[in-house]
């Protein structure tokens, strides 16, 4: 692996679509990064199969309590990861001081709307439709010790169309996520954004 590439750990709890998309975008757009480790909170997560297929080492860390976060960051350190990116990670993390500003998350709404404990996946899209909002989207942000909190890096909006179902809105938001996460990573690696300046 090229020494000038940033080493990334990717945390997930589900199917791993964001993992695979980011992997593809890094290669196609020559983003100076490589995903070196995948950590899942569930042994049954589909993202593990994707990691195997992509040839990325993976580990299981259930992290059922925030205090167990230290094991995750120890694993990231052992793999020489410089950044951790969350994609469908459903556990609350306690961010060590030395990792502040090095952990990113993508959330399927325009935060601060529809964030916090229990707001993930289809739950978010259902809330958007119930609130009869005209727009939704996604947010990439730095992670702190609160759910879906921390300085925002970027947001992309999508329209909510008349008659949308949860699945239709979810698909439209995910298309925005596929653009947003690689773009946010590029901003981070170029130094255009950091935890203090966002």
pLDDT digits (tens, 9 = 90+) for 77-127: 999 999 999 999 999 999 999 999 999 999 999 999 999 988 999 999 999
pLDDT digits (tens, 9 = 90+) for 19-44: 999 999 999 999 999 999 999 999 99
pLDDT digits (tens, 9 = 90+) for 165-176: 999 999 999 999
Q: Which of 34, 3, 15, 75 is nearest to 185 (CA)?
A: 34
Q: Which of 90, 94, 4 is nearest to 39 (CA)?
A: 90
- Out of 3.40.50.170, 3.40.50.300, 3.10.129.10, 1.10.1040.10, the CATH code matching 6-190 is 3.40.50.170
Instruction: Determine the pLDDT at residue 59.
Output: 97
Q: What percent of the chain has pLDDT over 90?
A: 89
pLDDT confidence tier of residue 198, bands split at 50, 70 and 90: low
- Give the integer Cα–Cα distance in Å for 92 and 76: 17
Q: Are strands 152-159 and 135-142 parallel, antiparallel or unpaired?
A: antiparallel
Whether residue 3 has pLDDT greater than 80: no
pLDDT digits (tens, 9 = 90+) for 41-58: 999 999 999 999 999 999
Whether residue 65 has pLDDT greater than 90: no
If you average pLDDT over every residue of the chain, what do you get?
95
Q: Per mean pLDDT, which of 1-5, 87-91, 128-132 is the most reliable? A: 128-132
Active-site option among 23, 61, 97, 107: 107
Instruction: Determine the pLDDT at residue 1.
Output: 46
User: Is 107 a residue of the active site?
Assistant: yes
Cβ count within 10 A of residue 52: 12
Our CA angle for 33, 35, 36, nearest 5°, is 115
- Entry pTM: 0.94
Whether residue 4 has pLDDT greater than 50: yes
Instruction: Determine the pLDDT at residue 110.
Output: 98
Structure tokens at 135: 């727009």
Say if CB 152 and CB 180 are below 8 A apart. Answer: no
Whether residue 195 has pLDDT greater than 90: no
CA–chain centroid gap for 45, Å, is 15
Give the domain ranges of the chain.
6-190
């Amino acid at each position: 692996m090229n020494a000038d590439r940033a080493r990334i750990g990717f945390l997930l709890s589900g199917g791993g679509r964001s993992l695979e998309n980011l992997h593809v975008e890094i290669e196609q757009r020559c983003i100076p990064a490589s995903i070196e480790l995948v950590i899942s909170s569930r042994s049954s997560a589909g993202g593990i199969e994707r990691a195997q297929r992509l040839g990325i080492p993976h580990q299981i860390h259930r992290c059922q309590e925030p205090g167990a976060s230290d094991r995750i960051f120890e694993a990231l350190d052992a793999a020489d990861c410089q950044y951790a990116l969350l994609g469908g990670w459903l556990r609350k993390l306690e961010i060590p001081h030395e990792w502040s500003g090095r952990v990113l998350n993508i959330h399927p709404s325009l935060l601060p709307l529809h964030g916090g404990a229990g707001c993930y996946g289809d739950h978010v899209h259902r809330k958007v439709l119930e609130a009869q909002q005209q727009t939704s989207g996604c947010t990439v942000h730095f992670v702190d010790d609160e759910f879906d909190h921390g300085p925002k890096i970027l947001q992309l909006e999508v329209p909510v169309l008349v008659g949308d179902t949860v699945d239709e809105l979810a698909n439209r938001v995910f298309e925005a996520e596929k653009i947003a996460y690689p773009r946010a990573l590029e901003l981070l690696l170029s130094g255009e954004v950091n935890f203090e300046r966002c």
